[in-house]
Amino acid sequence: MVNYLLKITAELENLTNLQPQGGCDDPNFSYLFKVKCGRCGEVSQKETCVTLSETVALPAGKATTNLMQKCKFCGRDGTITMIPGQGKPLTDEASQAGKYAPLMQFDCRGYEPLEYIEGTKFDDIDLSAGEFSEYDEKGECPVMISNLRSTFDVVK
């Protein structure tokens, strides 16, 4: 069993505590990424979307998972189960130190998660282009997020 911890970092200007809208464990926040089949190595064409509020029952036992998907190439079944409670907002200090903030842990069976598709909403910010800039009228300063990077750390 291998778990993967999704972590992100970005350059923040006049902004701190970057996290998904509603928090890392927001039941309706969708995490998008591509997966690689553990048997044949085929990389999915389409990104996979997992959301805490969406679960499917596993055929055996009482457990549930967040995604069950069959590899289009070799037909092997794989599952991805989200493990909440690991997320931390990316602070200005961590960003400046080049540190990554954890978002969500995934228990992946049969699949390996690849590139995280940045995007959807971080605190009302659309990061689908990988960067964002705006002028904060209240604080009278430019707000900027750039160079967003993500990584999947293997957790044993």
Question: For 20, which DSSP code?
Answer: -
Interaction of residue 35 with Zn ion, rule CB under 5 A:
no
Binding to Zn ion in span 118-147, by CB under 5 A: none
Question: Please, what sign has the CA dihedral across residues 97, 103, 108, 113?
Answer: negative
Count CB neighbours of 78 within 10 A: 22
Among 13, 25, 26, 42, binds Zn ion (CB under 5 A): 42
- Between 77 and 134, whose beta carbon lies closer to Zn ion? 77
In the complex, least distance from residue 39 CB atom to Zn ion, rounded to whole angstroms: 5
Nearest to 52 by CA among 80, 26, 86: 26
Among 2, 73, 128, 142, binds Zn ion (CB under 5 A): 73
3-class secondary-structure state, position 44: coil
Distance of alpha carbon 87 from alpha carbon 90, whole angstroms = 9
- Between 73 and 135, whose beta carbon lies closer to Zn ion? 73
Interaction of residue 74 with Zn ion, rule CB under 5 A:
yes
Where do contacts with Zn ion occur on this chain (CB under 5 A)?
37, 39-40, 42, 71, 73-74, 76
